Amino acid sequence: MGPSHNALMDRAQATAAAAARDLVVERPQGLYCPAGDFYIDPWQPVPRAVITHAHADHARRGHGHYLASAEGEGVLRARMGADIALQALSWGQAVEHRGVRISLHPAGHVLGSAQVRLEHRGEVWVVSGDYWLSGHQAEANLTCTPFEPVRCHCFITESTFGLPIYRWQPQAALYAEIDAWWAANATAGRASVLMGYAFGKAQRLLAGVDAGIGPIVVHGAVEPLNAAYRAAGVALPPTHRVTELPKEALRRALVVAPPSVLGSPWLRRFGEASDAFASGWMALRGARRRRGVDRGFVLSDHADWPGLQCAIAATGARRVIVTHGYEAVMVRWLQEQGYEAGAFRTEYGDEAIETEAGAAEEGIPFAE
């Protein structure tokens, strides 16, 4: 005999009661906190939004009120408009909204990127947004406050690179590779065009390369973000616009530009150049060839597989909800480890529409 009707009813009610206690649920507009009546990184306009970071898939225009980190205020206003209704919180500073205590903690992804900690009646949930941390000891993103693990009962994690094949090498080794490529090109009298997303990746590249090799040119889409980073106190080497340098100097230059310049007239002014692409997707076999560039450098602003595991373990959470990336793989792995795991369907992962073709060819969700 199967379970009685009453037992089924009890279980349904228990599930509903548990769901009612959930601090974050899925709604058509985005991830929603029922107790506090606000959204986190919603993809449709809402009255109140907590924003983890200013990448386009997480921060959208049109919300009534924004809550975000003070570190990211400059870049968020630069992208959303200077006049948005924004309350900025310093790291760890808490505000209470309808009984929910909200605080922001560094995510190490891009300037200002935050994890959102929610506390309500003794229950603590953390929404990671996007995050980067290194599985290699004592490494930090040079361009923002490093990821800080936050203890919680439930951790909502991204999973952009949530497959065991993704393992980043130490940053020093990566920057040495880029420097060697640049130096060899400079010696041969050709520019080194290095493509990466204008917000986050470009600054990671600039902060790590050896600026003694030659002059650095940045595309017009990159410089306003550099300005926001510098204003926030991040050290970047001197950068020039292409028109500021004589043609001779361009032949030794490192050129940092968004991927959209590939095949554009803007690139032709550098004459013969070597081109490269910096992305976590470059870890995939064939990714560089499909892009049609000379070199691929594996640099990501997202945690790799060991980094994701490390971050999840550090929260002490028993329950984990996976958002964008390889949800199914990550959920299965978490369940095997004894976690209560599930997934939320989100509309994140479209930051760099300009480069999604490569990922689409791989049949993988694109997000970086």
Q: Are 316 and 145 in contact (CB under 8 A)?
A: no
Residue 198 CB, shortest distance to Zn ion, in Å, is: 12
Residue 22 CB, shortest distance to Zn ion, in Å, is: 21
217 sits in which H/E element: strand 216-218
Residue 323 CB, shortest distance to Zn ion, in Å, is: 8
Helix/strand/coil for 347:
coil
Residue 239 CB, shortest distance to Zn ion, in Å, is: 22
Q: Are 318 and 124 in contact (CB under 8 A)?
A: no
Rg (the chain; Cα; Å):
22
Strand partners, 50: 40, 67
Q: Which is nearer to Zn ion, 119 or 368 (CB)?
A: 368
The span from the CA of 183 to the CA of 336, in Å, is 47
The span from the CA of 25 to the CA of 167, in Å, is 31
Q: Which of 36, 39, 42, 55 binds Zn ion (CB under 5 A)?
A: 55
Q: Which is nearer to Zn ion, 35 or 51 (CB)?
A: 51
The span from the CA of 363 to the CA of 365, in Å, is 7
Q: Which is nearer to Zn ion, 130 or 304 (CB)?
A: 130
Q: Which of 41, 119, 130, 304 binds Zn ion (CB under 5 A)?
A: 130
Q: Which is nearer to Zn ion, 107 or 191 (CB)?
A: 107
Q: Are 295 and 181 in contact (CB under 8 A)?
A: yes
- Compute how many residues bind Zn ion; rule: CB under 5 A: 3
Q: Which residues in the 287-346 window bind Zn ion by CB under 5 A?
A: none
- Residue 317: which residues within 8 A CB-CB, separation 6 or more? 126, 152, 153, 154, 155, 339
- Stretch touching Zn ion by CB under 5 A, among 52-60, 84-92, 272-280, 283-291: 52-60
Residue 347 CB, shortest distance to Zn ion, in Å, is: 10
Q: Which of 104, 348, 359, 366 binds Zn ion (CB under 5 A)?
A: 348
Q: Which is nearer to Zn ion, 125 or 348 (CB)?
A: 348
* Positions that interact with Zn ion (CB under 5 A): 55, 130, 348
